[in-house]
Amino acid sequence: MPATRWLPSLLLIAALPVLAHAEGPAYGPELQGFDYPYTVKHFAFESQGKSLQMGYMDVAANGKANGRSVVLMHGKNFCGATWDSSIKALSDAGYRVIAPDQIGFCTSSKPDHYQYTFQQLATNTQQLLKALGIQKATLLGHSTGGMLATRYALQYPEQVEQLALVNPIGLEDWKALGVPYRTVDQWYERELKVSADGIREYERSTYYAGRWKPEYDRWVDMLAGLSKGPGKTQVAWNSALIYDMIFTQPVYYEFKDLKVPTLLLIGTSDTTAIGKDIAPPALKTQIGKYDVLGKQVAKLIPHSTLIEFPGLGHAPQMEEPAKFHQALLGWLNKDNPVR
């Protein structure tokens, strides 16, 4: 990669203020300047010969604690902050809530060289939970976080009480179906061109079935501001590596091996599929059909429950939070393992 790509990072040790920009705010490489709904702490650890830090929120139960913890795993185009309404709902219901930003995302480190695997991200998260004294937890994973939560449950089954997946990607193996491969360099060039307008239009058409709510603009600004800030090249490069991980490391074939009670929460109007934009026309119409995928994968997972949200898209917890959290909490309480 060009040597000049890393020059801006030399000035980014301290927290950065929001930078003025004609098309909205720009944020630091670890999302400095963007307001999170709860205090962000940082977990420092060593990984692959590097000193890294994971940003995370640790929110105590509000009211009577039930002694249980829920770990929230965000998606590719999301951050821990986008779980704001879910954190409140779970905390109000008595849960301790941990919402980390994975390495390469949001408030966490974006290393110049890192071997991204779901196993590595699961290991990082497990180290965080160990440091926080959490021996067993329920996992709630959204989008790419659903792939990570699945990998975590496969890797550490004895440490997972329950697994809940919100419109997880990876319910199909795109490369096996014939979606063309993008190289990391191709992903990098694509990510360098990210804009607020492009993010908004992609999410409107893919995530929300053509609909849009004004409150979504905050999350568009979050992503766009991170991508056009002084850490732009770091952000784009890590994003490219992460897309390669998502495309090349399917969890689809291992759903049958899950041993924990699993809930699928599926907005049926979602059409998300990695690489869909470059898929052959005939294939493009066949992938990312969550109204079909949810039912198919529910049959693969041994101890599964499927709850569908007809007409909702990729993020039902953000589209209809009251309806979503009623369904989630009902299942968490009903399927509470014997402690």
pLDDT digits (tens, 9 = 90+) for 316-337: 999 999 999 999 999 999 865 4
pLDDT of residue 6: 38
Q: pTM here?
A: 0.92
- What the chain holds in terms of domains, given with CATH numbers, is 3-334 (3.40.50.1820)
Considering the chain, what percentage of its residues have pLDDT values greater than 90?
A: 91
Going by C-beta distance under 8 Å and a sequence separation of 6 or more, which residues neighbour residue 116?
Answer: 104, 241, 242, 244, 245
Strands 96-100 and 50-59: antiparallel
How far apart (Å, rounded) are the C-alpha atoms in residues 327 and 330? 5
Q: Residue 140, by phi and psi: left (phi above 0), alpha (psi -120 to 50) or beta?
A: beta
132-181: pLDDT as tens digits: 999 999 999 999 999 999 999 999 999 999 999 999 999 999 999 999 99
Exposed / middle / buried, residue 166 (Cβ in 10 Å: 0-12, 13-18, 19+)? buried
- pLDDT mean across residues, the chain: 93
| One-letter identity of residue 119 | Q
Under the banding of pLDDT at 50, 70 and 90, the label for residue 14 is very low
